[in-house]
Amino acid sequence: MKLTGEFFPNDFEKGIWKEYDEEGNLIKETDYDAPYKYTWEDILSFIKKRGIIIIYE
């Protein structure tokens, strides 16, 4: 089985994840952005436009 998707820092799942069986057939899709009004890309764009600095520890 294979799984595709994106992680945001600190192992936060984002976007659409796709799960495939051994033959490569799509068996499941999960949209981790669906419950939210804004995407991570929207938030990152907002942060960059305003020059906000983020510190990761």
Domain boundaries, the chain: 2-50
Rounded CA Rg of the chain: 15
Res 24 pLDDT > 80? yes
Two tokens, residue 1: 């089985």
Reported confidence tier of residue 35, pLDDT bands at 50, 70, 90? confident
Higher pLDDT, 12 or 41: 41
Q: Where are the alpha helices (DSSP H) in the chain?
A: 40-50
Res 57 pLDDT > 70? no
Secondary structure class of 45 (helix, strand, coil): helix
Please provide residue 10's backbone torsions phi and psi, each rounded to the nearest 5 degrees: 70, 30
Secondary structure class of 40 (helix, strand, coil): helix
Q: What is the model's pLDDT at position 56? A: 64
pTM: 0.57
